[in-house]
Amino acid sequence: MSSTAISVQNLGKCYKIQHQAQRGVKNYRTLGETLSSALTAPFRKLTPGFRDQRSEIRPPTSDLQSSNSNLPSSSRSEDFWALRDVSFEIPKGKVVGIIGRNGAGKSTLLKLLSRITEPTTGRIEMEGRISSLLEVGTGFHPELTGRENIFLNGAILGMPRAEIRSKFDEIVAFAEVERFLDTPVKRYSSGMYVRLAFAVAAHLEPDILIIDEVLSVGDAQFQKKCIGKMQSASEQEGRTVLFVSHNLQTIRQMCERVILLKKGEVSFIGDPHTGINGYLNQNADEQSAAIDLRAYPRQRDHDGAQLLSLKFMDEQGVVAPRVPWATNLLVEVRFRLDRRFRSLDIPMAVTHAEGLRVFSEAYSDQYEKLDLEPGEYIVHLSIPLRFFKLESYFFAIGLFDDGRYGDFIDGLPMPEIFHGNADTHMESHRWGVVRIPVAWKTVQSVSANNLPIFL
């Protein structure tokens, strides 16, 4: 008996993309034109000489059209590969996370694995019964009640009615929809939909459970309940779980392996820590540690002060996109004042890649606020990386005059923090968003005659 639950070989999915019509040419027909074409179709078949007058209509040729002859025509289409040459194997009883940016091909992959759509190329082999939850209301009929949909969903999965009935009470209790069990599901809220759909998918004993981002619809308590159920299904019942989520903390907590997709291709397969860092640092090679802030996006236009540039440097003062852990990150900020600032403060903050604010600091925490005339200035600061995990963080910097807005930029990607001796398994299971140095004492042997005494 094979120990592999899912085997994917050279999988690809191609879609046709219709380009925008050439200027002045319609790439669609109105309802009237469609009805007219349908009515005249029999006459076109009976009378070979009959021709649709619309086929004679051509847009007038103009200098503008001739100069734009390279624009795509209304009939042009392009092949778009949502997935290309994807190969991997998933052992039985494992929880595997699929991560990647929007458009990376995650949902397309799950639809192929769930047999909702057919692959263009490649082969998928799966052993056992599959249950999937890809979007709110998947597999539910809106006119049927919750009770009827439980039996309908079970029948779709190929389960006999007696087996569904044996799990019925457990499903209803987990979904917490007892009061609305005989109400048509079209009247359910999105949260109720998800609770019932997940309960059905997880309790009808599938060998492979495939779940997309839908759990984000539920509340925090229900999400915790679902995570516990998926872990139980894997660890105690030996079921395989394939899970897509943008909640990286959940991926860290649940998954033993991750598959990182990038532009429709597999970028990484392995431990969650390395995979998540790869996901967060996908654009690290394209990012520069020296950033021109003049054209950088802001939530508000600068007012009387402007951040001009920023450099991330190592301890030697060299601009560096990667900085060793346990060293200091040096930051140089150049800014311009268009008027006198009598009480200038320069706040900064660091945010974890998952959106949690780690800490904030300001120039005025150590020095008096500044009284500066118009002109250009440079400020330097040093951030100890000993407190950081080997993950991704973002930097924010601002200019304020006695609390009044001058300029502020958030979301600046900080350099990658690396540690050559890091234990990837330990890092993947480390809690929190920062590290606090703890004073460890050396391990000592305790003999029977020299037991420690605690007073």
Query: Torsion angle of alpha carbons 444, 447, 452, 453, nearest 10°?
Result: -170
What pLDDT is stored for residue 323 in this prediction? 92
> pLDDT tens, 118-144?
999 999 999 888 877 776 666 678 889
414 close to 358: Cβ distance less than 8 angstroms = no
What is the CATH number assigned to the segment(s) 83-280? 3.40.50.300
What pLDDT is stored for residue 52 in this prediction? 44
Query: Torsion angle of alpha carbons 320, 315, 431, 283, nearest 10°?
Result: 0
What pLDDT is stored for residue 234 in this prediction? 79
What is the rounded average pLDDT of the residues 369-374? 96
Amino acid at 159: M
Cα separation values, 263 from 106, 148, 245, 282, Å: 10, 40, 17, 11
Average pLDDT, the chain: 81
Nearest to 350 by CA among 294, 386, 396: 396
> pLDDT tens, 268-285?
998 887 888 778 776 555
- Provide CB contacts within 8 A for 177, sequence distance 6+: 146, 188, 192, 195, 196
Residue 342 C-alpha from the chain's centroid: 44
What pLDDT is stored for residue 401 in this prediction? 94
Q: What percent helix, strand, coil does the chain show, rounded to 5?
A: 30, 35, 40
Helix (H, G, I), strand (E, B) or coil at 182: coil
Q: Which of 11-20, 34-43, 213-222, 267-276 has the highest mean pLDDT?
A: 267-276
Query: Torsion angle of alpha carbons 427, 428, 431, 434, nearest 10°?
Result: 50
Per-residue pLDDT for 327 more than 70? yes
- Cβ atoms within 10 Å, residue 173: 12
DSSP 11-37: EEEEEEEEPPPPTT--SS--HHHHHHH
Amino acid at 130: I
Same fold, 83-280 and 290-428: no
Distance CA 171, CA 97 (A): 25
> pLDDT tens, 395-448?
999 999 998 999 999 989 899 888 877 776 676 667 777 888 788 888 888 775
Per-residue pLDDT for 312 more than 80? yes
pLDDT band at 192 (very low <50, low <70, confident <90, very high): confident
Per-residue pLDDT for 17 more than 50? yes
What pLDDT is stored for residue 16 in this prediction? 82
What is the rounded average pLDDT of the residues 291-301? 89
Query: Which helix or strand (DSSP H or E) is residue 51 part of?
Result: none
Of the listed ranges 7-21, 43-57, 200-214, 365-379, the one predicted with least confidence = 43-57
Distance CA 200, CA 197 (A): 5
- What CATH class does 290-428 carry? mainly beta
Question: Which one is predicted more confidently, 336 or 419?
Answer: 336
Cα maximum dimension of the chain: 114
- Cβ atoms within 10 Å, residue 321: 17
What pLDDT is stored for residue 85 in this prediction? 93
What is the rounded average pLDDT of the residues 53-66? 41
> pLDDT tens, 228-270?
878 777 777 788 888 888 777 778 778 889 999 998 999 999 8
Nearest to 278 by CA among 289, 265, 292, 294: 265
Domain segments of the chain: what residues?
83-280, 290-428
342 close to 401: Cβ distance less than 8 angstroms = yes
pLDDT band at 454 (very low <50, low <70, confident <90, very high): low
Question: Which one is predicted more confidently, 348 or 179?
Answer: 348
239 close to 93: Cβ distance less than 8 angstroms = yes
- Provide CB contacts within 8 A for 171, sequence distance 6+: 150, 196, 199, 200, 203, 204
Distance CA 268, CA 275 (A): 6
Per-residue pLDDT for 157 more than 60? yes
Q: How many CA atoms lie within 13 A of 12 on its CB side?
A: 11
DSSP 322-384: EEETTSEEEEEEEEEESS-EEEEE-EEEEEETTS-EEEEEEGGGTSPPEEE-SEEEEEEEEEE
What pLDDT is stored for residue 64 in this prediction? 37
Distance CA 52, CA 39 (A): 11
What pLDDT is stored for residue 24 in this prediction? 53
Distance CA 94, CA 3 (A): 11
Query: Which helix or strand (DSSP H or E) is residue 55 part of?
Result: none
